[in-house]
């Protein structure tokens, strides 16, 4: 089955009891058994719930894999991956990383004896110098947030394999519509479903997908043992969101390109970060591993003044000033003082998050209106 058909049909079927075409919201904690052990596959909703189960099967299919698990947030999904490790294990992570992931690694798990190294992976060979016999996980985010760097998943997968380490890819920005890391050799795919999968800025949720049976057993064991599961109502909302993921992503990509080209031609703009430009340092890899370039764009201003960036994010009228991304509506953010404020200034600037950097999540409104909005704000 192709993507659009899977997005709508994978994992879901008419309700057996009533014929309801939409997966019911099974708002229940427990399930009546005929006799001890006589259940229909569901015993208790932390372990498994039918609405969540439908979503888990659906998203696994979209990533061309067998096993999916849904969590109460993207960070809870990442938390599950790190809990597969032991004290003393080492993780090599992308250095240009979602701020919350960096905080989880450095302020929660580091104190349990797991060692994290943050590496610029734009040239994957750099990773090899950091591999030791304790390296158990390589963590990749691509495109990166907010610098839109592209990491060659296939090349990193080869390094991970050689090192005997798992490769996990945060696929939040690309979504399975644009990129399938497991097809490129990754062991685990992670999503903040809060973003494009949900797509309507009304849910916080995380997803893990794997095609490795052994990893899936650990994933489900940890999901059930630590209990950060997502709710039936939220599972329903994300299932509903995914039914239009392909249509939304097509428009995000079209609008993203138009806005990126407008910004690149604007005299007040210093630099535009968008992987669709041929001048982007990893454009060739983006073209190879992605089916489109998405609607996430960052740009910096001539003169690099924080006040100018703050003025622009205040002046825009259609773009809403808010954290998060991936919804139907366009958002604008200022990484240095918002999403990435938890990363120390020096570390931030080293990866390019300068004071004037502005990040856009280009929505699916009319592109002409979005460009006119940016035009007046820049003026
Ligand atoms: C938002 C986000 C996360 C964290 O997900 P939550 O659902 O907010 O917990 C992780 N990675 C990326 C790339 C994100 O954008």
Alpha carbon distance 363, 119 (integer Å) = 31
According to CATH, what is the number of the domain 3-242? 3.40.640.10
pTM: predicted TM-score of the whole model, two decimal places:
0.96
pLDDT tens digits for range 284-343: 999 999 999 999 999 999 999 999 999 999 999 999 999 999 999 999 999 999 988 877
Residue located nearest, by CA, to atom 5 of ligand 1: 74
Alpha carbon distance 38, 170 (integer Å) = 39
SS3 of 221, please?
A: helix
The string of DSSP letters for 120-186 reads --SSTHHHHTT--TTEEEEEEESS-TTT-----HHHHHHHHHHHT-EEEEE-TTTHHHH--GGGGT-
Residue 128 CA from chain centroid, whole number: 25
pLDDT at 160 over 80: yes
pLDDT at 304: 95
pLDDT mean over 178-192:
98
Query: Domain residue spans in the chain?
Result: 3-242, 245-378
Alpha carbon distance 72, 141 (integer Å) = 20
pLDDT at 12: 96
- Tell me the best of 141, 194, 198 to mutate to test the pocket of ligand 1, counting ligand atoms within 8 Å of each CB and taking the most: 194
Residue located nearest, by CA, to atom 6 of ligand 1: 74
- pLDDT above 70 covers what percent of the chain? 100
pLDDT at 96: 86
From the list 170, 187, 355, 373, the catalytic residue is 170
pLDDT at 171 over 80: yes
> 2: CA distance to ligand 1 center in Å?
27
pLDDT at 309: 97
Ligand 1 pocket member 101 (CB < 6 A): yes
SS3 of 317, please?
A: coil
Ligand 1 pocket member 170 (CB < 6 A): yes
Q: Is the peptide bond before 143 cis (omega within 30 degrees of 0)?
A: yes
Residue 239 CA from chain centroid, whole number: 16
- Tell me the best of 70, 73, 75 to mutate to test the pocket of ligand 1, counting ligand atoms within 8 Å of each CB and taking the most: 75
pLDDT at 340: 83
Residues in the chain: 379
Residue 300: which H helix or E strand, with range?
A: strand 296-301
Beta-strand pair 269-273/296-301: antiparallel
Q: Is 195 a catalytic residue?
A: yes
Alpha carbon distance 137, 337 (integer Å) = 30
Q: Return the closest-CA partner of residue 176 out of 27, 64, 330.
A: 64
> 16: CA distance to ligand 1 center in Å?
35
pLDDT mean over 102-112:
95
pLDDT mean over 89-111:
94
Residue located nearest, by CA, to atom 2 of ligand 1: 192
pLDDT at 214 over 90: yes
Ligand 1 pocket member 105 (CB < 6 A): no
Confidence tier at 196 by pLDDT (50, 70, 90) = very high
SS3 of 254, please?
A: helix
Averaged pLDDT of the chain: 96
Confidence tier at 111 by pLDDT (50, 70, 90) = very high
Strand partners, 116: 91
pLDDT at 344 over 90: no
Residue 222: which H helix or E strand, with range?
A: helix 213-226
From the list 6, 26, 98, 348, the catalytic residue is 98
Phi, psi of 333 (to 5 degrees): -145, 160
Residue located nearest, by CA, to atom 9 of ligand 1: 74
> 47: CA distance to ligand 1 center in Å?
23
Q: Is 98 a catalytic residue?
A: yes
pLDDT at 347: 82
pLDDT mean over 347-374:
95
pLDDT at 345: 87
Q: Is 302 a catalytic residue?
A: no
What's the token pair of residue 370? 């979005």
SS (H, E, C) 323-362: CCCCCCCCEEECCCCCCCCCCCHHHHHHCCCCCCCEEEEC
Q: Is 152 a catalytic residue?
A: no
Note every long-range contact of 3-7, with CB atoms under 8 Å and residues 24 or more positions apart, other chains counting. Answer: 3/62, 3/176, 3/177, 3/246, 4/246, 6/58, 6/61, 6/62, 7/58, 7/62, 7/177, 7/242, 7/243, 7/244, 7/245, 7/246
pLDDT tens digits for range 348-358: 888 899 999 99
pLDDT tens digits for range 48-84: 999 999 999 999 999 999 999 999 999 999 999 999 9
What's the token pair of residue 153? 């998943």
pLDDT at 351: 83
Residue located nearest, by CA, to atom 1 of ligand 1: 192
pLDDT at 221: 98
Alpha carbon distance 320, 227 (integer Å) = 34
What's the token pair of residue 360? 């856009």
> 115: CA distance to ligand 1 center in Å?
21
From the list 46, 134, 240, 261, the catalytic residue is 46
> 80: CA distance to ligand 1 center in Å?
14
pLDDT at 257 over 80: yes
Residue position matching structure tokens 């992670």: 190
Beta-strand pair 296-301/188-192: unpaired
Ligand 1 pocket member 348 (CB < 6 A): no
The string of DSSP letters for 9-20 reads HTT----TTT--
- pLDDT above 90 covers what percent of the chain? 93
Q: Return the closest-CA partner of residue 80 out of 108, 55, 53, 58.
A: 108
What CATH class is the domain 245-378? alpha beta
pLDDT at 145 over 90: no
SS3 of 44, please?
A: strand
- Tell me the best of 172, 203, 231, 237 to mutate to test the pocket of ligand 1, counting ligand atoms within 8 Å of each CB and taking the most: 172
Q: Return the closest-CA partner of residue 5 out of 245, 328, 211.
A: 245
pLDDT at 112 over 80: yes
Q: Report the atom number in ligand 1 closest to the C-alpha of 101.
A: 10
């Amino acid at each position: 089955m192709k993507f659009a058909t899977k997005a709508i049909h994978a994992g879901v079927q008419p309700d057996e009891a009533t014929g309801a075409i939409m997966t019911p919201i099974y708002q229940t904690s427990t399930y009546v058994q005929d006799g001890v052990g006589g259940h229909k596959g569901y015993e208790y909703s932390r372990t498994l719930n039918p609405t969540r189960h439908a979503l888990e099967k659906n998203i696994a299919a979209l990533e061309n894999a067998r096993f999916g698990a849904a969590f109460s947030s993207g960070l809870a999904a990442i938390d599950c991956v790190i809990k597969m490790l032991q004290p003393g294990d080492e993780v090599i992570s992308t250095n240009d990383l979602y701020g919350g992931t960096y905080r989880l690694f450095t302020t929660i798990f580091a104190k349990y004896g797991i060692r994290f190294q943050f590496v610029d992976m734009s040239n994957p060979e750099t990773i090899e110098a950091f591999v030791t016999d304790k390296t158990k996980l390589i963590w990749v985010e691509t495109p990166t947030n907010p610098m839109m760097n592209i990491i060659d998943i296939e090349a990193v997968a080869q390094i991970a394999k050689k090192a005997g380490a798992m490769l996990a890819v945060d696929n939040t920005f690309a979504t399975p519509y644009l990129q399938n890391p497991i097809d490129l050799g990754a062991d685990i795919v992670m999503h903040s479903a809060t973003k494009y999968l949900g797509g309507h800025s009304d849910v916080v949720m995380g997803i893990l997908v794997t095609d490795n049976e052994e990893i899936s057993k650990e994933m489900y064991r940890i999901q059930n043992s630590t209990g950060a599961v997502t709710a039936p109502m939220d599972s329903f909302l994300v299932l509903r969101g995914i039914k239009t993921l392909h249509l939304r992503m097509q428009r995000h990509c079209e609008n993203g390109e138009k806005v990126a080209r407008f910004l690149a031609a604007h005299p007040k703009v210093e630099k535009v970060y968008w992987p669709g430009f041929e001048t982007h340092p990893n454009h060739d890899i983006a073209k190879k591993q992605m089916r489109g370039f998405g609607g996430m764009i960052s740009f910096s201003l001539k003169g690099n003044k924080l006040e100018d960036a703050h003025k622009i994010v205040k002046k825009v009228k259609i773009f809403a000033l808010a954290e998060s991304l991936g919804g139907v509506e366009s958002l604008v953010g200022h990484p240095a003082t918002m999403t990435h404020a938890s990363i120390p200034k020096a570390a931030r600037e080293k990866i390019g998050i300068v004071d004037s950097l502005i990040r856009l999540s280009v929505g699916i409104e009319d592109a002409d209106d979005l460009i006119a909005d940016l035009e007046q704000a820049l003026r």
